[in-house]
Every structure is written in C-alpha cells, then in structure tokens.
Structure 1
Amino acid sequence: MTIYTTDDWAMTSDLTEESAVRVADRWTLAWRCSWMPDRLLTRAQALAAMVLAEVVAVDPYPCGEAAQGRMVAAAGEVGIPLEQAVFLLLRRRTA
C-alpha cells in the first residue's frame, strides 16, 4: 500500500484508481478527492481519504484490528461516517 504524492499537487495509489488533486493555492481547504468530488479537503484529509480508498480496495470489511483502526481513524480525519465512506468507495468500484 503506497500513496504517491507529486510535487504536493497530486496523490495517487498503487492499489486503486482513486486520486486527490490540489485545486487551489494558499487555501486551507485546497484538495479534492476523486471519490468525494463535492467536498474540499485539507491535505491531511485528502491523505486520509486516499488511505480509506486503499484499505477498501484491499478488503472493504477487514477483520484485523490494524486495518479497522486505520479505517476508523481515516474516516474521522475526513469527517465522514465509516459506513458512508465504504458505501461510496464500493459504489464507485461497481459503476
């Protein structure tokens, strides 16, 4: 699981087609994630959204405490209920 950042303007993953891009300069809320296109995010939130996308790409319902903990922490950082995040990501995979 690797999230790649490009000159602090883009984030991509080696496990999923989801991405995040910086859409503004000098704004706190300056990032947009592909699976939440209607929300502006901070860089930390965009990174958390990418972590969620990677974990769901591997196993949307993990049994391990480490993966579950990563998902809960990432959803909390993004400010979205974990169930909603999993739903949105799975819906994009089947579309």
Structure 2
Amino acid sequence: GYEEDWFSGLRRFHSNFEYRYHIGYRSQLFVFLDCGTVARQNWQFDTIKIGYGPGLRLESQKGIVFTIDYGLEPNTTLTTGKLHLNLGATF
C-alpha cells in the first residue's frame, strides 16, 4: 500500500511472508505480508511499517514472469491500495 521507494535510510530491516497456492505450471495465487523499517541516522529506526495483500504470479515455459499484486496498509480501505505490476525473467 505504500509508494515505490518511499523508505530510504542508512540501515534497513525488512521481512516478507507469502502463502502461495499453485494454479498451474509455475503459476500461483498468493497473499503476502511485508514489514520493515529504516534508520536515517545511526541506529534510530523509524516505526515498523506493514503492508499486505493478494497477488498473482504467472510464469511461461520460456521463463518470462508476470506478477501483479495489490498492496494495502493497515487501517485503510480496499480502494486506497496500490497496484504493482512486474515483468521479469527467471535465470
């Protein structure tokens, strides 16, 4: 639910949890929970931010990967989430 590259600092901590449900050849539906924080000075970390949501990952037999996910912040409505699209490849 946050903007891309919204958080920056000298140090960071982040973690990602996903539950994936396989729907076909290397393709999954998933739900995720992300959390993280940054330290802008010394070791003074900001409040931990949390994001969560659903997603879809499709991979072709050629290794092309398309991912779409919808990120939300706690205490917000479904309409305020952020849609993220990604096109990449496996190697």
TM-score, reference length from structure 1: 0.29
Give the number of the structure whose residues are more often helix, by fraction. Answer: 1
- Based on CA coordinates, which of the two structures has the bigger radius of gyration? 2
Give the number of the structure whose residues are more often strand, by fraction. Answer: 2
Bigger relative contact order, structure 1 or 2 (CA pairs below 8 A, ≥6 apart): 2
TM-score, reference length from structure 2: 0.30
